Structure 1
Amino acid sequence: MSNYGCQQNLINADFSLKAILEFVCGESNKLANCALYYGRQLYFKTGKIPGKYDFHKMFKSNLHFKALYSHVAQQTLTSVAESFSSYIGRLLGIKSGTVTQHPKLPKYRKDSLKLVTFPIADVKLKNGLLRFPLGSKVKLWFGIGEFFLPMPSNLDYKKLVEIRILPRNRCFYAEFVYRTEEQLGSAVLPGSVLGLDNGINNWLTGVSNVGTSFIIDGRHLKSLNQWYNKRISVLKENRPQGFWSNQLARITEKRNRQVRDAVNKAARIVIDHCLKNGIETVVFGWNKEQKQNANMGQKTNQKFVQIPTGRLKERILQLCHQYKIKFLETEEAYTSKASFLDNDSLPAFGEKTEGWKESGKRITRGLYRSADGTKINADGNGAANIIRKVAIKLGLDLSRISSGELIAPLKIRLWVLQESPRMHGMGSIKHHLYYVRSITPNTVGAPLTKNICQ
């Protein structure tokens, strides 16, 4: 079974190439705005939405359509049709109760640039360069019929499906979408499970029932966001609303690249841990709309909301599908309060019984004390309780989750090649080192599973 991967490459464009890319993405946006106007008016007057073939037929003589290669223009119109279909789908979801937030009709984008998609059938490879065709009108107006980009050396041209030109923060990226085969996972231990608890300083804490535990440190990522917020505040001080500049675009794009890199590295650490230890199932603790309903004070809320845990969850899910690892999401009510070592009951959110009380207590931000005085890592306690949330349903054996693994999980820092060893629990056996696989700039974000390219 084939999935699809996606690789983003920053385009180092000279003046002429940048002008061409701006023109192409600008024409794509203008064509999309024309289609949006037609679709919105049709919906207001008849309650119906047009399909992609209706758009193709309606706008094939449009000048913005002719400024693009025909298949490229059709891809732009198809994306508009899909946005209207998504709007109707969400309306139906509200009626059925599966969607809570009311959707909005697709809106126009003024003076903007839009993503452009080239099917691989229209892109030719010659002498290591990819040739991208332009519309017939462009050749007539400017005498330019194509532009060229280098073919990445780490990709196979025969596996490419499409190439997208993505404008973002005054930069341009080439997104290469390619076919991938499902990876054959290593031998798994039946009934093995890894519980994941998310936070801020400890971005992700993992505890398994095969005697392993780890923490992915989130302080560096939090620091990056704090620096970014300060710089944005300084640069926008005494400026009109909506002010934007080259410097703002540059630091925003740098921060976004670092965040994407962190998401990919953290997800890869989780998957490598599962493959190395033969873990069959990943259980991710997640409360829906937890960021929207966060009430931890203004400063803490800002730190929490800007940490891309939702994107990390989706990335782990993608890799689990690729490596045939089971993925389960569960609500995490009372997992931080209840004591795992004392086997406290874990009611679901809003179902706490009268008189319920935890046996232990969280004495500091990172330390939890059980009823007999044993002190363990607070986030490790939460991750172990997340497994308990689904233990009966999955028939899991939790006897191998010991206080030793909960006392001192292995700390892993992102953007560090090697982590210092630490003593395993209270004994003298050292944990093996985890190596964070470095991701080069031209492979950040690859591979992703089908239809998810960020």
Structure 2
Amino acid sequence: MLILYGSAKIHLKHPTPDMKRNLVCLLQLSRDLYNASIMEISDSYKRFHALPSYDELTENLKSRKEYQAIGRKYSAVIIEALSNCKKYFRITQYRTDKSKQLLDKKNLNKIKPPCKSKIIFPVLLKNPEIENGFLLLPATNQTPVLKIRLPSAYAHHQIMRIHLHTSCNFRNWELIIEYPLQVIENPNLNVHKVLGIDLGVSNFCTCVTNAGDSFIVDGRRLKSIIQGYCKYEKKFHSHGKGTVRQASLQRKTAYRIRDYLNKSVKYIINYCINQHVHKIVVGWGIHFQTFELGHQNNQIFSYFPYAVFVKALKTKCHQNGILFLKTDESFTSQASAIDLDQIPAYVTPTEQRFSGHRRYRGLYITKDKIKINADINGAFNILRKCNAITDPDMIRLSSRGLAQPQRIHILSSETAPSFPNK
């Protein structure tokens, strides 16, 4: 049975000087153990050409001062995270006869700088204790038991793991908690209904079903948030790093973006449940955010958190019994869905020719001079790539009005989804 975990970020507002001093010390102890574990793994690989297991790594580190200083509860999670790291398995596969280097520097976890540096490894802890609405961080040789008040919505959750980290020169403190999610069964979903999603900028999510229903999640508000952040970040960065206003700007911008993404995911999931959609297909490209689109477009496009959105959507799909699938989005914007152009599965070195073309921004012209929305055309091609829509259905849908889909403004009071109490 698949076990799903949800996460919530809690901002620690105005910690006392003693609390802040103890948290910084705890982060430094965590970083010291991280460095010791990295050195132990590296030495073991150099000597035996094999990676140590979790038990071997724990046994070798028990006698070191870094392990004894932070304690068993913290160290167990850090060592487990490093012993299961897939980057080290890539090293053994990457070795070739031509390469005489034992370790590839690009694939190695880097040693964190010494204690005077501001780069700190986050604190990890499994199954923390909760007492009267307070999260208890166990004591170490240098810090007492720390109490952090939890919001009432999470005070009675079964917390499986916590992740404490800081940023902006110890001005922003965040506690990430992970807790199990309850899987919701939706027996009314139709296995033949599929929703295709094409990701963009001004049109953040262009969604279309294999029945021809379509809507666009507006992305211009999110674009404005990112543009404003880049503008003021440049201004504050010129005056110096780590200012109070810069820390506040980063925190508030992250909250606004997270709120926008969560509401977008919630709206799409509610739409699928109401329309009995059983599967969601998202067009995805590994390097599609690295294209050269010009200075201004690169600034916006590279900041858009598509991976965060797709991950949140995938989790919500699994929670509500909706199938989730990612497919390569190569040539989906160029091929004509109505003309049934053949779409290559991946990027090919040869130049491809298609029936239709883009005449204006956002408007696609087919071979028969039919005008449709360019992103709707891309979403239909995403459905065609995964065989979610047949050619006869595509011909039948070509007679429908596909030029002006409904635009959804997520932050408006009329379309904003309601969130139940946790």
Q: TM-score range by the shorter chain?
A: 0.7 to 0.9
* Partner of residue 383 from structure 2, selected from 368, 384, 387: 387
CA–CA distance in structure 2, aligned partners of residues 392 and 56 of structure 1: 49
Q: Read off the aligned partner of 1:174 and give its amino acid letter.
A: L
Q: Read off the aligned partner of 1:118 and give its amino acid letter.
A: L
1:394–1:70: structure 2 CA closer, same or farther, 3 Å change rule? Answer: farther
Q: Is the 8 A contact 2:87 2:107 kept in 1?
A: yes
Q: Which one is further off, 264-273 or 20-29?
A: 264-273
Q: Which one is further off, 304-313 or 110-119?
A: 110-119
CA–CA distance in structure 2, aligned partners of residues 54 and 379 of structure 1: 53
Quote how far apart the aligned CAs of 1:291 are.
2.0
CA–CA distance in structure 2, aligned partners of residues 74 and 297 of structure 1: 47
Q: 1:254-279: per-residue Cα shift (whole Å, max 9, x none)?
A: 22232322322222222221111111
* Partner of residue 247 from structure 1, selected from 245, 248, 251: 245
Gaps (5+ residues) in structure 2? 97-103
CA–CA distance in structure 2, aligned partners of residues 400 and 223 of structure 1: 38
Quote how far apart the aligned CAs of 1:184 are.
0.6
1:304 aligned to 2:301?
Answer: yes
CA–CA distance in structure 1, aligned partners of residues 19 and 65 of structure 2: 22
CA–CA distance in structure 2, aligned partners of residues 27 and 272 of structure 1: 44
State the number of aligned residues. Answer: 407
1:114–1:102: structure 2 CA closer, same or farther, 3 Å change rule? Answer: closer
Q: Is the 8 A contact 2:337 2:394 kept in 1?
A: no
Q: Which residues of 2 match residues 170-319 of structure 1 at below 5 A?
A: 170=170, 171-237=172-238, 243-292=241-290, 294-319=291-316
1:210–1:435: structure 2 CA closer, same or farther, 3 Å change rule? Answer: farther
Q: Is the 8 A contact 1:124 1:132 kept in 2?
A: no
CA–CA distance in structure 2, aligned partners of residues 205 and 377 of structure 1: 10
1:155–1:331: structure 2 CA closer, same or farther, 3 Å change rule? Answer: same
Q: Is the 8 A contact 1:228 1:251 kept in 2?
A: yes
CA–CA distance in structure 1, aligned partners of residues 93 and 305 of structure 2: 26
1:94–1:328: structure 2 CA closer, same or farther, 3 Å change rule? Answer: farther
Q: Read off the aligned partner of 1:53 and give its amino acid letter.
A: D
Q: Which one is further off, 380-389 or 257-266?
A: 257-266
Residue number in structure 2 paired with 1:417 = 413
User: Higher relative contact order by CA 8 Å / sep ≥ 6: 1 or 2?
Assistant: 1
1:173–1:212: structure 2 CA closer, same or farther, 3 Å change rule? Answer: same
Gaps (5+ residues) in structure 1? 139-143, 419-433, 444-454
CA–CA distance in structure 2, aligned partners of residues 366 and 172 of structure 1: 42
Q: Which residues of 2 match residues 43-82 of structure 1 at below 5 A?
A: 43-82=45-84
Quote how far apart the aligned CAs of 1:402 are.
4.8
Q: Is the 8 A contact 2:195 2:210 kept in 1?
A: yes
1:396–1:389: structure 2 CA closer, same or farther, 3 Å change rule? Answer: farther
TM-score (normalizing by structure 2): 0.86
Residue number in structure 1 paired with 2:89 = 89
CA–CA distance in structure 2, aligned partners of residues 399 and 368 of structure 1: 16
Quote how far apart the aligned CAs of 1:103 are.
4.5
SS in 2 for 1:163: strand
CA–CA distance in structure 1, aligned partners of residues 388 and 40 of structure 2: 54
Residue number in structure 2 paired with 1:148 = 147
Q: Which one is further off, 178-187 or 26-35?
A: 178-187
SS in 2 for 1:387: helix
* Partner of residue 134 from structure 2, selected from 120, 129, 132: 129
Q: Is the 8 A contact 1:337 1:358 kept in 2?
A: yes
TM-score (normalizing by structure 1): 0.80
Q: Read off the aligned partner of 1:91 and give its amino acid letter.
A: I
Quote how far apart the aligned CAs of 1:94 are.
5.0
Quote how far apart the aligned CAs of 1:134 are.
0.6
Q: Which residues of 2 match residues 19-58 of structure 1 at below 5 A?
A: 19-58=21-60
Residue number in structure 2 paired with 1:447 = none
1:378–1:124: structure 2 CA closer, same or farther, 3 Å change rule? Answer: closer
Residue number in structure 2 paired with 1:330 = 327
Residue number in structure 1 paired with 2:111 = 108
CA RMSD of aligned residues (A): 3.0
Q: 1:45-95: per-residue Cα shift (whole Å, max 9, x none)?
A: 443333322332233343433333421122222223233xx1232235658
Q: Which residues of 2 match residues 358-373 of structure 1 at below 5 A?
A: 358-373=354-369
CA–CA distance in structure 2, aligned partners of residues 198 and 134 of structure 1: 46
Q: 1:123-166: per-residue Cα shift (whole Å, max 9, x none)?
A: 141x332332212x23xxxxx63121223322363622233323
Q: Read off the aligned partner of 2:152 and give its amino acid letter.
A: S
